[in-house]
Chains A and B, each alone.
Chain A
Amino acid sequence: MADKSKQGSNQDAQNYQSIQQKHEIKRPVFFNCLKAFVVGGLICLIGQLISTFYIRFFDFTEQTAGNPTVATLIFLTMLCTGFGFYDRIGQFAGAGTAVPVTGFGNAVISSAIEHKTEGYILGVGTNMLKLAGPVIVYGVFSAFVVGLVKTIITHWGGF
């Protein structure tokens, strides 16, 4: 990715950055989007099939099937990550495998595997949420803000 901040303020640095950008291989954004759409869609389709399976064969409703579906997808992600496939699919699919819940699972699981050599407490325990931590922090914080806005509107907005 090109460096847009142009940190080196002097003329040499700017000249070089334009030379460099000329040779830089650009990300194929359109194809990346297309691949992400197809692979991400495929993961969602698998999720839907799992969900339907739970509703049809077990005592779940459309509302309650969510939890076992997510758990199953994360379990499958764990296998794919542990056996070393997920990063290869990820390089191909990009956001397609990063955005669904499987991407979140992969971020946690890959960190846990990576830091096992440093022990279960200081290694796995400390680093497991290294990549997924920000998602939790800002996920919870955004939910709080949305909740606050909703409360203000419904209680004092007169709706």
Chain B
Amino acid sequence: MLYGRQTWLFENKPVILSTGVVGGPFEKDGNIPDAFDFLYDDMWLKQASFEKAQTMMLEDAGKYALTKAGIKKDQVNFFISGDLTNQITPTSFAAKTLEIPYIGIFSACATVTESLAMAAFYLNSQGAEYILSGTASHNAAAERQFRFPTEYGGQKPPTAQWTVTGAGCALLGKEGSGPVITSATIGKIVDMGITDPFNMGGAMAPAAADTILTHLKEREISADYYDLIITGDLGKIGHQASFELLQEANIQIDENRYVDCGMTIYAEDQPVLAGGSGPACAAVTTYGHFLKRLEKGEFKRILLVATGALHSPLSMNQKDSIPCIAHAVSIEAGGDNS
């Protein structure tokens, strides 16, 4: 049900039945290797291209989610997913293999929450029994599309971020046991005129702050309603900048309860500059790490705010600024629904 202008409350509480999370070799050496169901040893996954490797990761993540829940793919009504690569082809090829009716979406690194919000809305309004939602990214596929060839020896500034190689899927159902989705806020484009593609976190921070403020206002709750507010891939600069924006708006958030997936996924000694990024960043960190901690009972309510920079190489070369978006989804520990 609509609450305010852009927030949905899900009174039927759709359930995250299971998740599937896979990652690459660089993620294996990261901060949260336990988050993954499977970690590949090479960047290519023995495929002919990085894009094919990304397709395979998404397929595998989807299969892990289905197997864990004991649901067959022909029981699943829809597969809602997207990625960064031109015309989201890696995702479409994965949808071909999975043979699940497919809704392709694009929200760059905010794809995870956009697909989660849509899936929850369909389930809540009896539009489906089961929905597979997720996203994937591949470091080298993103580099070649948005920046330089993988082996090009250009020097990146300290504000740059590292695209996560991995995929994260969540299987959602109308009922069952697992964490439940209680609400979602669809964000609007926020563009503060940042044009530097090597400072994506700085560009996306205002979008994250805007969506968090709107979410809290429309749900009429304070920030401490959530045990943890998780942003997608703001990195060090975006994290601090968005925290300052929230404080300026008189939102009291405990610094320890405001975390970022891009700052969680990699170890301190890895050369990721400002942190991780990419659609898979928020997906693997939330599904593999934070949801597991939620299920263990470490916290009860979390708000996931994945952020996306919706520019293209063409718009960058034409000197346009970076339009940014953030969608928020609240996830709570299940119990009464199981």
Contacts and interface: CB of A to CB of B under 8 A. Distances in A.
Task: Report if A and B associate in a common complex.
Answer: yes
Contacts of A20: 192, 194, 199, 202, 205, 237, 241
A16 B153 CA distance: 32
Nearest to B153: A90
Contacts of B156: 91
B37 interface: no
B149 A114 contact: yes
Contacts of A115: 149
A28 B159 CA distance: 12
B245 A87 contact: no
B155 A90 contact: yes
A113 B148 contact: no
Given A7-B321, A27-B158, A106 B153 contact: yes
Interface in B181-196: 191-196
A82 B152 CA distance: 10
B239 to A, nearest CB: 8
Given A24-B159, A98-B155, A106-B153, A131 B148 contact: yes
A52 interface: no
B150 A87 contact: yes
Contacts of B319: 5
B153 A23 contact: no
A33 to B, nearest CB: 12
Nearest to B152: A110
A6 B193 CA distance: 6
B176 to A, nearest CB: 41
A82 to B, nearest CB: 8
Given A25-B237, A86-B153, A98-B154, A3 B148 contact: no
A111 B155 CA distance: 16
Chain B interface residue bracket vs A: 35 or more
Contacts of B236: 23, 25
Contacts of B206: 16
B144 interface: yes
Chain A interface residue bracket vs B: 35 or more
Given A19-B244, A114-B144, A117-B49, A91 B237 contact: no
Contacts of B144: 114
Contacts of A6: 193
Most-contacted residue by chain B among A8, A25, A117 (CB, 10 A): A25
A117 B192 contact: no
B333 interface: no
Interface string A106-126: 110111011101000000000
Most-contacted residue by chain A among B152, B154, B205, B241 (CB, 10 A): B152
Nearest to A16: B192
A87 B321 contact: no
A53 to B, nearest CB: 25
A56 interface: no
Contacts of B297: none
Contact of B149 (A7, A94, A111): A111
Nearest to A111: B149
A16 B240 CA distance: 12
Interface string B213-225: 0000000000000
A10 to B, nearest CB: 8
Contacts of B199: 1, 3, 20, 24
Interface string A31-49: 0100000000000000000
A135 interface: no
B157 interface: yes
B195 A89 contact: no
8 tightest A-B CB contacts, nearest first: A90-B153, A8-B193, A114-B149, A94-B155, A7-B193, A25-B158, A110-B151, A110-B149
Interface of A: 1-3, 5-9, 12-13, 16-17, 19-20, 22-28, 32, 81-82, 84, 86-95, 97-98, 103, 106-107, 109-111, 113-115, 117, 131
23 contacts: A1-B199, A5-B195, A6-B193, A7-B195, A7-B321, A8-B191, A13-B192, A20-B205, A20-B237, A24-B199, A24-B237, A25-B236, A25-B237, A25-B274, A28-B158, A89-B153, A91-B155, A91-B156, A95-B155, A98-B155, A106-B153, A109-B151, A110-B152
Interface of B: 48-51, 144, 148-159, 191-196, 198-199, 202, 205-206, 236-237, 240-241, 244-245, 271, 274, 319, 321
